[in-house]
Amino acid sequence: MFHISTRISNRSSALFLASLLIAIPHLHGQASPSKIVDELHKLRSLSDQERPVATTKVATEISALPPGMDKVKLADAAANLVTEGDQGQDALQAVATALSKALAETPVPAKNDQPPPPYFDLARLARYEHVTVSLDNPLYKKATEILAANEADIAKADFTLKDLHNKKWTLSELRGKIVLVNFWATWCPPCRAEMPNLDAIYAQFASQGLVILSISDEDPSTVNSFLQGKIYHPPVLIDPGDAIHNEFHIVGIPQTFVFDRDGKLAGIAIDQSTQSQFLALLVQAGLKPQ
């Protein structure tokens, strides 16, 4: 996932990992932090078959590091990468275990009485990726409670936005249809990677009443320029001023929310999804793939 306003965005992740590469000293007898940083850098370049194995390996190496904030940062970086695509439960659990262990050893102090990002990232893994977390920490508990409260807000959300052709779309007026709301941006590689999956699903299931709404907060000219020459059929809506991003508590993209035909929130994806992952969410909303 690429975070919009926190420490690992598409614009800052490389610099963040590079700073760790410089700042963290080599430790003998185990994988060095600099080697781990290099492995994290390479994860996105690996094939779908190679990446889960490499992610699990790097999570195990992070777990073996001595306690400290550098360990927390490395584990949190891995947590932001493991949710891209379908890397499997073993990789997800290994990363969650590494981050949980790092936070247990080195708790991160609250910021303005709010849990710091690593606690939220761990809570997201537990809530939406169904990993096991045994961290006994009040900030982790608070992060979990905030996610639940945010989800309750999203379940009641409504909006009206215009698409690139100036057509208005209102979420509550789509009752009777299954609605997939996807937050994305042109600058976000995981967002771009999942667009062909969304397009294929839209083409296959629009006749069953599936509506896909792709929401960006960028300038329409930027989005139009990006889409020129590309095959993407779902309507693309523009959210000027981030009003709907804020209503859905978006802190990182891509994120996806699926509403059933009664308008009830049926599923959430916190990062880049495969076709099979999207379909699993849609089945939860009542879609019947044939």
| pLDDT score at 197 | 97
- Looking at the chain, the whole-number percentage of residues with pLDDT higher than 70 is 91
Q: What is the pLDDT of residues 230-260, one digit of tens each?
A: 999 999 999 999 999 999 999 999 999 999 9
Report CA-CA distances (Å) from 82 to 109, 115, 132, 175, 180.
25, 21, 15, 34, 23
Q: What is the pLDDT of residues 18-65, one digit of tens each?
A: 455 444 454 445 789 999 999 999 999 999 999 999 999 999 999 999
| pLDDT score at 175 | 97
Q: What is the pLDDT of residues 132-142, one digit of tens each?
A: 999 999 999 99
Q: What is the pLDDT of residues 211-227, one digit of tens each?
A: 999 999 999 999 999 99
Is this structure's pTM higher than 0.95? no
- Cis, peptide link before residue 254, omega less than 30° from 0: yes
| pLDDT score at 20 | 53
Q: What is the pLDDT of residues 92-109, one digit of tens each?
A: 999 999 999 999 999 999
Under DSSP, the state recorded for 240 is G
SS3 content of the chain, % helix, strand, coil (to 5): 50, 15, 35
* Domains, in order of start, for the chain: 2-152 (no CATH), 160-284 (3.40.30.10)
- Cis, peptide link before residue 138, omega less than 30° from 0: no
